[in-house]
Copies of this chain bind each other. A is one copy, B any other.
Amino acid sequence: MKVKREALKNAAIEILKGFQATDSEAGLVAECLVRADMRGIDTHGVHFLTLLSSRVESRMIQIPTKVEVIRDEDATALLDGGNGLGQVAAHRAMEMCIGKARKFGTGSVAVRNTNHIGILAFYSSDMAERGLAGIVMCNGAASMSPWGGAEPFFGTNPISIAIPGDTGEPVVLDMSSSVVARGKIRRAERMKEAIPAGWAFDANGNPTTDPSEAMKGTLMPIGGPKGYGLALMVDVLAGLLSGSQFGPHVKTFHQPLDRQASGSS
């Protein structure tokens, strides 16, 4: 089934308005989700609205989103996302960061107390399209262990870097620090297919090609200890430094609703 971009976006906007999002919030989040689908990142596309729905029903998230500026000094700032829509807080941080970079040459803005912000490329590309090099990081729910360990501790903590391109189209990197996303292992389990070596560890920290064992274990970081190091640094810079949740304390949108997600960006 093919759906026109605008039709999908309008449907997402209506759903978000049903969650009490303001017009501008709904437009922003819908655009972020549709762009993810168009980049082929289904996991971060409009499908996300079904996960959001259960959080809205359980009153785990505050909509409309009230972003508060905790600190704003020269080239840096810290925002509190008010436990609202992650995209709204992250977009506000990006706008502040652009202002700071234009004024001081570079800027850095952190966000705490927010939720899933969607694909990082949404923000980094926007910066690059406006003539700036954009770097975005975000921690996530635990699915990788410190190298040599077996228990999940770090998320697949992604990094995105975008650079203005000569023709207007930016050059964009948007990657997690794991070899693959957990979704690919979930799919293999459903299809009863083995997964390639080098994707995951079982619950004892041994490499496995059995997707069911992998789902009980952890994801392999890229380059072994290197990806672990990247995930650690993203967790410190995006999580600890902003006063957000970090390590195994970050909750996922894909699990039972026992706690707010508290992602960060």
Task: Show the binding face of A for B, using Cβ within 8 Å.
Answer: 73-76, 103-108, 133, 161, 163, 171, 173, 175, 179, 198, 222-223, 226-227, 229-230, 232-233, 236-237, 241
Please judge, given known A-B contacts A73-B105, A222-B222, whether A175 and B236 are in contact too, CB under 8 Å: no
**How many copies of the shown chain assemble into the complex?**
2
Q: Which residues of B contact A105 (CB under 8 A)?
A: 73-76, 108
Majority secondary structure of chain A interface residues (helix, strand, loop or mixed)? mixed
A163 to B238, CA, bound (A): 12
Nearest CB to that of A172 among chain B residues? Answer: B229
List 11 A–B pairs whose Cβ atoms lie within 8 Å, in order of A's numbering. A74-B104, A74-B105, A105-B108, A106-B106, A133-B236, A175-B223, A175-B229, A175-B230, A179-B223, A198-B198, A222-B222
Q: How far is the CB of A221 from chain B (nearest CB, A)?
A: 8
| Chain B proximity of A133: nearest CB distance (Å) | 7
Known: A105-B108, A106-B106, A108-B105. A171 touches B236 (CB 8 A): yes
C-alpha spacing A222/B230, complex, angstroms: 12
**CB neighbours of A241 from chain B (8 A):** 133
Q: Name A241's closest neighbour in chain B (CB-CB).
A: B133
Once the chains bind, are A222 and B229 in contact (CB under 8 Å)? no
- Chain B residues near A198: list those with CB within 8 A: 198
